[in-house]
Structure 1
Amino acid sequence: MKILHICGGSLGSGATLGALSLHQALIKQGVESSLIFSKGDNESNAQHVSPFFNSKLARKLFDSGTKWIEPQLLKSETKRKVKDISLGLVGHPFFLKNREIEAADIIHLHWINSRFLRIKAIQHFNKPIVWTLRDAWPYTGGCHYTNDCENYKSGCGQCPLLHSNDPNDRTKQVIENKRKHLPDGIRYVALSNWTAEQARASSLLQNQSIDTLYNSIDQNYLTPSNQSKESACAQFNLPTDKVILLAGAARLDSQFKGYKDILPKFPNAQDSNIHIVTFGRISKALQAATTAPATHLGSITSSEALKTLYGAADIFIAPSTQEAFGKTLAEAGACGLPVICYDTGGPKDIVLQGKTGYRIKTNCTDEFINATLKLAADPKTRSEMSAAAIEHTHKSFCPRLAAQKHIELYRTLLERPNDE
């Protein structure tokens, strides 16, 4: 079987890394798999991975000619600046002419936004389609995270992001556009039970086939490290006499990651036994607001370096309020870190309550801080949770298991009669 993964964004984005991990695991299982992405180059020289645009000039010309379209449409809806809404109306006009699309037996969609693939094009693949729900966009009227809004259950309209009271606003139109042009028979894959529940409750996907298949994590994190904690701390110039609280995301200031509410609340006491370490982009404002002892390392792209950093830490804190999966939580657990998170989204499947960490009621920041400080003061419980986290993540999120489950899904699609 020939599988083509399609994912918008750069090869370093979270969604594309998830798609890449699956792609590489499938190749190891003997599957003919390839992946195309929309931005940047294949700097890692990953096998059978290529950018959609063959030249930077072509990408630049396409961007300059299209980047204004959806913002202008949203501006006509509201005078306020709108973020985090994608309409799915713009895509490359010759997308379907791609040779790899023509050669594939199955098209596996991942994250398709940022003017990569428009909704109307999907119906013309004329092949079995798998679509991994890497955020909420496939079943909403344009938002990538639903927050507390439940309008996706009734077909959107009256969008709070648009500050709209119109039941037929742009989000309603996006839902109807998806309903009209998305072909029947797409197999949707949720990365967590929480995402599957949301999708099944949506107006758009309530009658569609939805499977829950976990993301896998890089095999590197599942391989035991021979490096001591002291050596790992020395590599990043971190203190060895403190409990290291690790916090990380591509953008720590993202409203969905929750760090803006949590990091400033850790106490700044001279006798504190904790030291906060962050990785990923972080604003100067959030750095200044974090008054507890802290080290900010910036972006870390190497899995080897990140594995070493996990080895230097004692607890991973992840206060995300919306998370389709939570790859960093799984990586941290695989490296033996107990995880403190909110009881929502993908982390509910990753963190076993009281065994591999603690899940705190969403947005209860004081309870989150207290649970973290209590665990920081309890080395015995941390040690027990560390062993349990390694066992759970190695059993649940290994690449081989993810590949095998996807192969089973692909086979059911290829064996399905053409008229279904």
Structure 2
Amino acid sequence: MKITQISTSDIAHGAGIAAYRLHKSLQETDHKSEIIVSLKKTNDDTVHQIKKPPSNLLTKFKDKLEAKLEFFSNHWGVQGIYSTSCDVLIKHPLMANSDIINLHNIHWHERNLSLNILPILSKTKPLVWTLHDMWAITGHCIYSFECERWQIGCGQCPDLDSYISLKYDTTAISYKIKKSTYKKSNLTIVTPSEWLKKLVMQSPLLSNFEIFHIPNGIPQDIFHPLPKTEVKLALEIDIEYPIVLFIASYLDDVRKGYAYFEEALLRLHDEFPNLQILVLGNGKLPEKLRAKFKVIEMGYINNEKLINIMYSAADLMIFPSFADNLPNTVLECLACGTAVVAFKAGGVPEMIQHMKTGYLAESQNAIDLANGIKTLLSQPSMLQSMQSECVNSITQNFSAQLQAKRYLSLYESLIERQSSITNKGLL
């Protein structure tokens, strides 16, 4: 079987990382997998950038101009209708040579793909679309939070600043374009979480298509437990006192819940005055926590082996996001044997088993978040016993091999169905 994945990037964002990992796990099987991206960050020869990287001043200028035009269209116009890459993508040799195509994120603030590719790509090949957030069923946002206007056509958007932000409210227009485009397309939808699957099933836009739930997989040859004492000493972390991890691509991303993290830890200062905080991500931790605790900031790290060390060094990861699908960081951390305290939000409860591999607090409740941190840090023996449970939960439910097996089963059924329809048409 010849499989082609399509994503806006390979490792530049969470959805791209998930797509790339699926691609790599499929390569471990007897099938051929390639991936096409708008922006390539790896040196992998099986990752193909849609457009050749600029090689001189003229092509660099053209590349930047095209990116700016896409940015302008997405933020000042109607999202998902303008892309400078789609014509090149459709003519790519892999489109003709593949048995099946698996689309991932097509939206981005720039270097996005256009909705127009959906009816074109699905005409002759089975087309799977793996959704990594809510963008496909809304007028612009990737998470709707409390808003339910995505169920009635959007418009009168209450949060134009939500990613992907808009200068003007074109959400109703975007919604109508999606509706029209989907009607002309033949799609099979996959969601990594049951939470997102339920939302898609409620969507007037995509509920008529077949919808499957296949969780993301984690490469356990990369993410696995390391001896905590050794990695703490290597990072010059005091082994006498507990350390918690906070990780986000951008620390000031409101959705990732830093405000709740800060409030929860400040509530615990009297009981855990020597608590250490390990921070990964772009940005700097505000002064409030710096004044109370020892803070170790590592910045943004995209080296998975280094990230594995950070997960293993932590006694606990705090994940206070209040809107997420099936975040890679939670699965990675569990694979390293480190328990997670998180909110009951999005697909997160599907990953964490309460009081077995972590603690699930009521969403956007800093008091309950603090209670979860206190409960686990106060019982070191419980935390230690959770290590094997965390790893087992990944092996049994979220391994890369299991993900590949599930996708291959879906691919084979769709190809067989397509072949049957084609043969009947020829008779």
Q: For 1:6-405, what aligned pairs fall within 5 Å after superposition?
A: 6-9=6-9, 11-42=11-42, 45-56=43-54, 58=59, 61-65=62-66, 67-68=68-69, 71=72, 75=76, 86-92=79-85, 93-113=87-107, 114-125=110-121, 126=123, 127-162=125-160, 170-182=170-182, 183-221=184-222, 223-225=224-226, 228-263=227-262, 265-267=264-266, 268-269=269-270, 272-283=273-284, 286-291=285-290, 292-405=293-406
Helix, strand or coil at the partner of 1:67 = helix
Q: What's the TM-score once normalised by structure 1's chain length?
A: 0.89
For residue 69 of structure 1, report the CA deviation from its aligned partner.
5.6
C-alpha distance in 2 between matches for 1:17 and 1:265: 30
C-alpha distance in 1 between matches for 2:61 and 2:352: 42
Q: Are the aligned partners of 1:310 and 1:332 in contact in 2 as well (CA < 8 Å)? A: yes
For residue 336 of structure 1, report the CA deviation from its aligned partner.
1.1
C-alpha distance in 2 between matches for 1:95 and 1:405: 27
C-alpha distance in 1 between matches for 2:397 and 2:73: 44
For residue 91 of structure 1, report the CA deviation from its aligned partner.
4.0
Q: Are the aligned partners of 1:276 and 1:295 in contact in 2 as well (CA < 8 Å)? A: yes
For residue 287 of structure 1, report the CA deviation from its aligned partner.
3.4
Helix, strand or coil at the partner of 1:116 = coil
For residue 257 of structure 1, report the CA deviation from its aligned partner.
0.8
Q: Deviations over 1:138-180 (max 9, x none)?
A: 11112111111111111212211239xxxx9521211211121
For residue 50 of structure 1, report the CA deviation from its aligned partner.
2.1
C-alpha distance in 2 between matches for 1:239 and 1:86: 49
For residue 119 of structure 1, report the CA deviation from its aligned partner.
0.7
For residue 294 of structure 1, report the CA deviation from its aligned partner.
1.4
C-alpha distance in 1 between matches for 2:329 and 2:315: 14
C-alpha distance in 2 between matches for 1:232 and 1:188: 41
Q: Are the aligned partners of 1:246 and 1:276 in contact in 2 as well (CA < 8 Å)? A: yes
Q: Deviations over 1:221-250 (max 9, x none)?
A: 45454xx32210122221111111011122
Q: Deviations over 1:348-379 (max 9, x none)?
A: 11001221111111100121022212211111
Query: Which residue of structure 2 lines up, in the alignment, with residue 81 of structure 1?
Result: none
Query: Which residue of structure 1 lines up, in the alignment, with residue 164 of structure 2?
Result: none
C-alpha distance in 2 between matches for 1:10 and 1:29: 20
Q: Are the aligned partners of 1:70 and 1:87 in contact in 2 as well (CA < 8 Å)? A: no
Q: Are the aligned partners of 1:324 and 1:346 in contact in 2 as well (CA < 8 Å)? A: yes
Deviates more, 1:378-387 or 1:130-139: 378-387
Amino-acid identity (%): 27
Structure 1 residues 276, 66: CA separation in 2 closer, same or farther (over 3 Å shift)? closer
| One-letter identity of the residue aligned with 2:296 | T
For residue 269 of structure 1, report the CA deviation from its aligned partner.
4.8
For residue 188 of structure 1, report the CA deviation from its aligned partner.
0.8
C-alpha distance in 1 between matches for 2:203 and 2:271: 50
| One-letter identity of the residue aligned with 2:139 | G
Structure 1 residues 63, 102: CA separation in 2 closer, same or farther (over 3 Å shift)? farther
Number of residue equivalences: 402
Q: What's the TM-score once normalised by structure 2's chain length?
A: 0.87
C-alpha distance in 1 between matches for 2:70 and 2:308: 41
Q: Are the aligned partners of 1:221 and 1:334 in contact in 2 as well (CA < 8 Å)? A: no
| One-letter identity of the residue aligned with 2:159 | L
